[in-house]
Structure 1
Amino acid sequence: MRFTASPLTLRKSFDASDHHQRLNLEWFTTFNTYPPAASTISSVFPPYTSTHTLRLPHKHSSAASKMESHDKGATDEELHARHIKYMEALADKRSANELKQIKLSLRKELSVAKAKAAEDLRSERGASAKSKKSLDQRISDLEKQLQTGKANLDKAQAANAKRDGQLSSTLFKSQAELATLKKKYDEKFAETNVLRLDYDATLTDLVNMQLKNKKPSDRMDTKLTSLKE
């Protein structure tokens, strides 16, 4: 595994006063990679020897004691290889912890996102159900209004038809009555003409009678006048 920890992380994990640790930190700072074999690193930095003891934090003191006891009699290359192996294990542990933290953070974010999505979905479903209920109620009201309007229209049409029938019957009856009245008028008019003719004839007869009676009366008046004289 490629060791990519920053020099600051290494400085927090190791004692910076240790000569070999300082050399490794300088190597990582310069090249950002593992130190090469001891024969190569010795050409750049002073060689790693058993006199440069790696100082570990207090929580790694037991491991350090084991390493110190195990390092007795080991060559510089073996010590260097063990040191690199320990650094790789430490880097793997730190990477695993960082990965674990990232996973926990992602799980937390995912849980929050799921909760928010569920809440939004519930809210949208509630709003949709409320809107659907309101729409259904509006449709029901419109259907009732439509049925009421249709019933009123049918009732009005029936009333109009009935009224039209009544008007037709009344008109027919009125026409019949008008014809009867006209007939009666004509009969009365004919009777009036007859009476008028009779009246005219009677009047003529009276005039003639007056004329006939006038002549004797005039003669009598003349006689009376002469006698008076």
Structure 2
Amino acid sequence: MTSRSKEKVAAAFRKLFRSPEKLDKEGAGPSGSPARRGLFRRHRDGVSPAEAPASLPASPAASSLAKKKPGGANDVRERAAAVRTRRLMKELKEIQRSQDHRSNPIFTVELVNDNLFEWHVRLHQIDPESDLAADLRELNIPNILLHLIFPENFPFAPPFMRVIEPRIEKGFVMEGGAICMELLTPRGWASAYTVEAVVMQFAASVVKGQGRVARVPPRTFRWLKLGVADQLNAAWISRS
């Protein structure tokens, strides 16, 4: 065999046993022949990773969990109603216990038509040195009757409170008996406030605002209408 033949055989062996990286470069280059590119593709396909396995069908338990939907608005309302009921039951028991242990309580509570969410509160004592207390004594009025309604989202929202009788002028009491107190607005309210705290705050505010028992009869029958007080209270809240 001549030296030229030996060189050709050696070159053929070098090409045959080249590394995959070199095959990659030559196969991707413009000078790679179709046969060489085919050899490169067969080599690449032989070492490519296995395909991802097909997804398995979901188990019945997983399917049921996927189909299960979270609680809706009804569940939220039920939880809110439970919170309101527990809170008012607790406060009512504490107030009644306090009333039973005092011969002359500051205020007393009655349910309106046995409705836990609507109370009549009778305020029996205010500052005895105030003009309002003098008016009550002079007119022989034993107490101030308040009407409280607790919304669905109580105690996270304040109750609505108004004065039913007597008709009070000034003292942060508006027409219809609506009460202007920061404590009764969403901004001034806190869920930790109790009914007792609200009533005592009113007793202080009506005296501080120089409230007096109205001597002149009301111009219309609107004084005792809940709708008027509700509208005025909403207007007060929107301004605060």
Same fold (TM over 0.5): no
**TM-score normalised to structure 1 length:** 0.24
Structure that is richer in helix per residue: 1
TM-score (norm 2): 0.23
- The structure where strand makes up a greater share of residues is 2
